[in-house]
Amino acid sequence: MRWDDYTSPGWDELLRDGQARAGCEGMVRALGLLSLAELRDRQSAAELAVRAMGITFTVYTESRNLDRAWPFDVIPRVLSTREWSAISDGLVQRLTAINLFLDDLYTDAKVLADGVIPREVIEGSVNFRPQCIGATPAQGVWAHICGSDLVRDSDGTMYVLEDNLRVPSGVSYMLENRQVTKRVFADLFRDLDIHPVDGYPHRLFDLLAALSPRPGIRPTIVLLTPGVANSAYFEHAYLTQQMGIELAEGSDLVVDSDDCVYLRTIEGPARVDVIYRRIDDMFLDPAAFRPDSLIGVPGLMRAWRAGKVAIANAPGTGVADDKVVYAYVPELIRYYLGEEPSLASVPTWLCHDEAQRSHVLANLSEMVVKPANESGGYGIFVGPQATRAESEAIRDRILAEPRNHVAQPVIALSTAPTLCDDRVEARHVDLRPFILSGEHPYVTRGGLTRVALRKGSLVVNSSQGGGSKDTWVIDPTVGDAPLVSAGARTGDR
């Protein structure tokens, strides 16, 4: 690979003016030894591996759900250990504050009494659950598993774009991407000191097991899935296999009059201790939330409130990933921890505030406007790329529902070299690390890098033409040395 004609419209993760960034030297050197044809061979091998391993995601269309091969770009995205350590610390700080906030909000609500967040912001959030007030989940932790989206602007600043606190997905792809690159880039693993990522399922299992309301007894843990039609079903099945827990659907579970949750097994009912739920709050329990939910378990909230079963993430966590509440997270960090946030949040204008709304409406062409409670990249307005009609439409929607819209400046999104048809080109990427909040916080080494495969596109969601890359956190201090023994590593186990 030669980089003579490689250019990035902004900040590139690997190169600066054709030279390797700090920490990326080993990777650039390794790629330099490969011709474009060899790289393409490895891409084909990777695509074959993705197919054989059955790594898929489901796309909803009008007529049916399609199971598609997971789109994967063979060139890994590289981060240095030094930078990652700082980001990792910042994420732990952030989640610590968010969990303190959730625990406070659903008990004493001092945060509202002290005026840190206006009461109407919380009460206006569709993800605030009055049903959770007074609940006391184990260890005071509500958001056990979080997938935060990080983006880097053209000046190199890394921002937290959003925290996914309800049912974040993608970690299975992070793990499988690594399996794929091990197959096709085994030679590079010999020369670069790449932090392993496969400790995650073990950590997640330990976190879930520690939540059991019956300490001393081997807990029965289930992952509660909406079922085979869900877009993340691959991940649900994969994680249960990796953790050795049960994959359950709502109809496999029943809550008895003793408020305990039971699993329908071939030997009769078996008590469930911990539920890793991958179902949205509103569908979790038709007796507490949407009565028309067919995928939930009637009585589950009753069992949870009685302390007979642990649920991760706890119901009600979604209030903290409301995009309006997001704007207050730096303030929450100061309020609960007395610290300055070490990771930047994207400046956010709240449309329910009249002054801020006027600013947004006057500068729509430079703004990204988001609905407060959507995920998956749906409903996002990107000012610089919008047509006149789209601009008019978003203006009407903001005026109709100001509480449900926030606006942010356009973040250019950094790029990473990506194999395109006949050459390697810069494509925009983001990064979703996963943060586990239990007795000991844990952050994945790197995370899932998503890449917008269309030239110029900033949309990285797999449902909308996005792909993914393996993410290598490399320790440049040992980059030139042969692989050191596992014991000497600072890796994740």
Q: Which residues bind another protein (CB under 8 A)?
A: 51-54, 201-202, 205-206, 209-210, 212, 215-220, 228, 237-238, 240-249, 251-252, 254, 256, 262-270
Q: How far is the CB of 266 from another protein (least distance, A)?
A: 5
Q: Give me 128's structure tokens.
A: 């605030």
Q: How far is the CB of 337 from another protein (least distance, A)?
A: 28
C-beta of 115 vs 268, nearer to another protein: 268
C-beta of 235 vs 430, nearer to another protein: 235
C-beta of 12 vs 273, nearer to another protein: 273
C-beta of 256 vs 374, nearer to another protein: 256
Q: How far is the CB of 61 from another protein (least distance, A)?
A: 19
Q: How far is the CB of 492 from another protein (least distance, A)?
A: 16
Q: How far is the CB of 196 from another protein (least distance, A)?
A: 17
C-beta of 140 vs 227, nearer to another protein: 227
C-beta of 53 vs 382, nearer to another protein: 53
C-beta of 29 vs 182, nearer to another protein: 182
C-beta of 186 vs 266, nearer to another protein: 266
Q: How far is the CB of 452 from another protein (least distance, A)?
A: 28
First to last CA, the chain: 34
CA 480, distance to chain mean position in Å, is 32
Pick the closest to residue 369 from 388, 353, 387, 382 (CA basis): 382
Give 71: exposed, middle or buried? Use CB within 10 Å, 0-12, 13-18, 19+: middle
CB atoms within 10 A of CB 336: 19
Q: Say how far apart CA 167 and CA 188 lie, in whole Å.
A: 34
DSSP code of 268? Answer: E
Q: How far is the CB of 183 from another protein (least distance, A)?
A: 12
Give 338: exposed, middle or buried? Use CB within 10 Å, 0-12, 13-18, 19+: exposed
CB burial of 437-461 (b: ≥16 within 10 Å; e: otherwise) equals bbeebbbbbbbbbbbbbeeebbbbe
Residue pair 78/472 in contact (Cβ under 8 Å)? The answer is: yes
C-beta of 38 vs 256, nearer to another protein: 256
Q: How far is the CB of 39 from another protein (least distance, A)?
A: 24
Q: Say how far apart CA 453 and CA 460 lie, in whole Å.
A: 8
Pick the closest to residue 360 from 324, 302, 352, 169 (CA basis): 352
Q: How far is the CB of 439 from another protein (least distance, A)?
A: 11
CB atoms within 10 A of CB 485: 6
User: In sequence order, which residues have a C-beta less than 8 Å from that of residue 414 and are 6 or more positions away?
Assistant: 8, 10, 11, 12, 13, 151, 152, 153, 154, 156, 428, 429
- The single-letter code of the amino acid at 435 is I
DSSP code of 12? Answer: B
Q: Say how far apart CA 133 and CA 406 lie, in whole Å.
A: 27
Residue pair 8/43 in contact (Cβ under 8 Å)? The answer is: no
C-beta of 196 vs 269, nearer to another protein: 269
Q: How far is the CB of 493 from another protein (least distance, A)?
A: 13
